[in-house]
Structure 1
């Protein structure tokens, strides 16, 4: 059975497959924002929106906070949309 992701979801993939660039790894997302997303995930069981990745390289282009939260709550599959 395919899980229905948040609006805009084009696919689901394993967190391990997502490639995160140094730029994101060196950034510090707002802890309040992270907590807000964690609370949302705990309440609903899914992210509020998909993360955005490049289709061919699986490089994360948007949604680093959601990526961190998915890691934090140990989500197996995360909703993704491909960069246009």
Structure 2
């Protein structure tokens, strides 16, 4: 799925495969209702509700695991990201 719509607050777009997800996130289970709200928003608008936050140098995910799961589920090509300050 390609996303041409700019997600508010996004500083960049990167490939999903570039994002490094830590064991801490992988071992967590996001709320199914929250996942569904993100899916519904994506279907309605064509973009994620917020960018995924990553570390600039390592591309390690620091916030937005639910959005990451949704992006992976719908096979997004490019993911909107914001860099951790």
The question of a shared fold, defined as TM-score above 0.5 by the shorter chain, is answered with yes
Cα distance in 2 for partners of 1:60, 1:9 equals 14
Which string of whole-angstrom CA distances, capped at 9 and with x for unpartnered residues, describes residues 35-66 of structure 1?
Answer: 11001111111100000000000000000000
Q: State how far apart, in whole Å, the 1-side matches of 2:40 and 2:11 are.
A: 24
Query: Which residue does the alignment assign to 1:10?
Result: 11
Structure 1 consecutive aligned stretches of length 4 or more whose deviation exceeds 2 Å: none
Cα distance in 1 between the residues matched to 2:25 and 2:51: 17
Partner secondary structure for residue 80 of structure 2: strand
TM-score scaled to structure 1, two decimals?
0.94
Q: What count of residue pairs does the alignment treat as equivalent?
A: 82
| Counterpart for residue 83 of structure 1 | 84
Aligned position for 1:67 = 68
Structure 1 alignment gaps of length 5 or more: none
- Secondary structure at the aligned position of 1:69 is classed as helix
- Looking at structure 1, the residues matched to 6 and 68 of structure 2 have their Cα atoms a distance apart, in angstroms, of 15
